[in-house]
Each structure stands twice: as structure tokens, then as C-alpha cells.
Amino acid sequence: VNANPAQDLVNQIPPVEVMGRIVSCDGGGGALGHPKIFINLDNPEPQRCTYCGIRYVQKPHH
């Protein structure tokens, strides 16, 4: 039995930094992906994809 639940493993991945206010996630595409969703990044905290759990955050502006 795996001692690390899947969500714990996903939480070990640092949030993906993106330039825009909105990001789309499809779980990697193809047969292994999930339906494409759009995630609003106006909140300064990392936002999680509701399908795969990958977290996204808006890159700080310089």
C-alpha cells in the first residue's frame, strides 16, 4: 500500500508560475488528460485545478 496519498504527492510539486491572470489546465492533454478548465489567478494564493490538483500562481510583476 502506498503511504503517500496522491494529493500529498501533487502537493510536493511547486505551483506553476504563469504571466497572465487566467490559465487553462487540461491535465497534460491526450487520453491521460481531463476536460480543459480555466482558472482565475486574481487571488494571490496558488489556485488548484479541480481535476488534477496542479497549482498555479500568477508571476509577480516587476
The range of the structural domain enclosing residue 26 comes to 6-58
Kindly report the CATH number assigned to the domain that includes residue 11: 2.60.260.40
Does residue 1 fall inside a structural domain? Answer: no
pLDDT, residue 12, reads 87
d(CA 53, CA 62): 28
**Based on the structure, what is the number of domains in the chain?**
1
Residue 51 CB-density burial (10 A; 0-12 exposed, 13-18 middle, 19+ buried): middle
- Residue pLDDT, tens place only, 3-55: 778 778 888 889 999 999 999 999 987 788 999 999 999 999 999 999 999 99
Q: Specify the pTM.
A: 0.81
- Give the ranges where 1-62 is alpha helix by DSSP (H): 6-11
Q: What residues contact 49, with CB distance under 8 A and at least 6 apart?
A: 25, 27, 37, 39, 55, 56
The answer to whether the CB of 26 falls within 8 A of the CB of 33 is: yes
